[in-house]
């Protein structure tokens, strides 16, 4: 396990030898683990617009120590780093995300080593912002995956070398704006910069009266009504069945190409992390969409050692599949979307605001009298840091450390994570236990930490 110490000035010169850059990327810090156990901290969505390093609360510093104390720490990076070199895209993932490039070094200070970049904010600004984000992350020594100059690059794994193992990261998204998708490179036409997509196909199963009514509506509007037991209505596919349900399956081509990347990464690394940004849910936002378990199982079958979901800004259940952890959503890690410096006209115009209005006016109008939006939604501000441990490539432990992002605090104060107190920790683990029970997973709570009870035979003897 790695350890980061504050050295005396007398050894500063020696320590600094390990911070030199190689081809623009900071050299990885030395890993000192000798117990044969490999640990990785898994954190959720990181929308960071404020520095982390000035703060000194014990619960915050304990969280930082937790991240730094693992062999690798991962987070989803739902942010773009630039100085407005480009322009806002016509569409965004909601808020046009942007932060000062220094935030990459703030994440590195906190112990984050790897980040996923495929999400619904990847295309908020022009392609220049993808490149400046890459540059800032590289300079901070943070490995990233999920975007590229073309689809082939966006699909590929990126790697982090540690003293105790090489880790591959593959990042994709099912939630994105249309312009965000990377395009394939050809011999005669360049590819398009963007993200690694996992699209999905949806079909709605309905009974005979519903199908007949839909067909009657189409015919009445003079639109093609089709024949037989299926039809397309407003771009959605409907089919006759014995009961109402929604069927979703991963796009076959996307799935095949991502699986190929996973298999390739497995041959070149010791551990493979596959991660997806997916807002889509089942019956509610705390339940994964039907296509997600299909994709998660396919990823594990292809060689992934862990599957990490994020995107809905709330926790979802945990499944242990073939001895490997599947976390369908680990919620938020940093949530500072209210303190972006500037917003484009599109955001203001959508709320009827004028040229004299600013970010605080936008936030006030956006969340006015909103009892379900982000500020009022307690679940958005409650999450976990998951820490799976492996020995000889096998999962031997999975700890869940509850965190609070400051529900109820003012916008400039909420969004920064701290380890939760006893009462909130118990509540968060109870919530996650309830969400995980349908997946056959049991979680035990003790002293502000949840421990997933692994199936018999998962951990190797003597672990």
Domain parsing of the chain, residue ranges: 17-198+251-342+373-453, 208-241
Token pair 């109402």 is found at 244
Question: Which CATH number is 17-198+251-342+373-453 given?
Answer: 3.60.21.10
Residue 237: both structure tokens together: 């596919």
Where b means 16+ CB within 10 Å and e means fewer, 194-232 reads bbbbbbbeeebbbeeeebeebbeebeeeeeebeeeeebe
**CB neighbour class for 13 (10 Å; exposed up to 12, middle 13-18, buried from 19):** exposed
Q: Residue 459: its pLDDT value, please?
A: 58
Q: What is the pLDDT along the chain (463 residues), one digit of tens a residue?
A: 554 433 333 333 333 433 333 333 333 333 444 578 999 999 999 999 999 999 999 999 999 999 999 999 999 999 999 999 999 999 999 999 999 999 999 999 999 999 999 999 999 999 999 999 999 999 999 999 999 999 999 999 999 999 999 999 999 999 999 999 999 999 999 999 999 999 999 999 999 999 999 999 999 999 888 888 999 988 889 999 999 999 999 999 999 999 999 999 999 999 999 999 999 999 899 999 999 999 999 999 999 999 999 999 999 999 999 999 999 999 999 999 999 999 999 999 999 999 999 999 999 999 886 666 788 899 999 999 999 999 999 999 999 999 999 999 998 999 999 999 999 999 999 999 999 999 999 999 999 999 999 988 665 544 4
Q: Residue 7: its pLDDT value, please?
A: 35
Distance in angstroms (rounded) separating the CA atoms of residues 441 and 436: 5
Q: Residue 27: its pLDDT value, please?
A: 36
Q: Residue 62: its pLDDT value, please?
A: 98
Distances (CA, A) of 142 to 107, 136, 169, 265, 367: 8, 9, 12, 18, 34
């Amino acid at each position: 396990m790695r350890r980061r110490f504050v050295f005396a000035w007398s050894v500063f010169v020696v320590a600094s030898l390990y911070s030199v850059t190689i081809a623009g990327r900071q050299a990885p810090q030395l890993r000192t683990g000798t117990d044969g156990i490999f640990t990785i901290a898994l954190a959720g969505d990181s929308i960071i617009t404020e520095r982390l390093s000035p703060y000194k609360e014990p619960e915050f510093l304990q969280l930082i120590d937790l991240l730094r104390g693992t062999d690798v720490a991962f987070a989803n990076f739902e942010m773009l780093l630039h100085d407005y070199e480009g322009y806002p895209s016509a569409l965004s993932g909601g808020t046009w995300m942007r932060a000062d490039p220094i935030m990459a070094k703030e994440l590195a200070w906190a112990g984050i080593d790897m980040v996923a970049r495929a999400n619904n904010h990847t295309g908020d600004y022009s392609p220049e912002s993808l490149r400046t984000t890459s540059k800032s992350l590289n300079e901070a020594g943070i490995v990233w995956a999920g975007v590229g100059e073309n689809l082939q690059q966006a699909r590929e794994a990126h790697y982090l070398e540690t003293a105790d193992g090489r880790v591959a990261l593959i990042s994709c998204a099912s939630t994105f704006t249309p312009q965000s998708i990377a395009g394939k490179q050809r011999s005669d036409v360049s590819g398009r910069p963007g993200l690694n997509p996992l699209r999905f196909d949806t079909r709605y199963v309905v009974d005979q009266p519903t199908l007949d009514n839909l067909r009657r509506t189409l015919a009445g509007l003079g639109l093609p009504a089709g024949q037989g037991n299926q039809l397309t209505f407003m771009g959605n596919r409907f089919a006759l069945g014995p009961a109402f349900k929604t069927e979703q399956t991963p796009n076959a081509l996307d799935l095949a190409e991502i699986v190929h990347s996973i298999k390739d990464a497995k041959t070149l690394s010791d551990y493979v992390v596959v991660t997806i940004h997916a807002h889509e849910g089942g019956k509610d936002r705390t339940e994964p969409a039907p296509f997600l378990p299909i994709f998660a199982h396919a990823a594990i079958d292809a060689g992934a050692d862990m599957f990490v979901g994020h995107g809905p800004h709330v926790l979802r259940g945990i499944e242990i599949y073939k001895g490997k952890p599947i976390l369908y959503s680990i919620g938020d890690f940093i949530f500072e979307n209210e303190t972006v410096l500037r917003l484009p006209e599109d955001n203001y115009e959508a709320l009827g605001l004028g040229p004299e209005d600013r970010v605080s006016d936008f936030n006030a109008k956006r969340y006015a009298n909103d009892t379900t939006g982000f500020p009022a939604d307690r679940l958005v501000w409650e999450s976990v840091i998951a820490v799976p441990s492996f020995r000889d490539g096998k999962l031997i432990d999975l700890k869940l450390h509850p965190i609070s992002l400051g529900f109820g605090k003012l916008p400039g104060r909420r969004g920064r994570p701290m380890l939760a107190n006893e009462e909130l920790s118990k509540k968060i683990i109870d919530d996650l236990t309830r969400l995980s029970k349908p997946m056959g997973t049991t979680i035990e709570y003790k002293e502000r930490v949840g421990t997933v009870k692994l199936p018999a035979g998962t951990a190797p003897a003597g672990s």
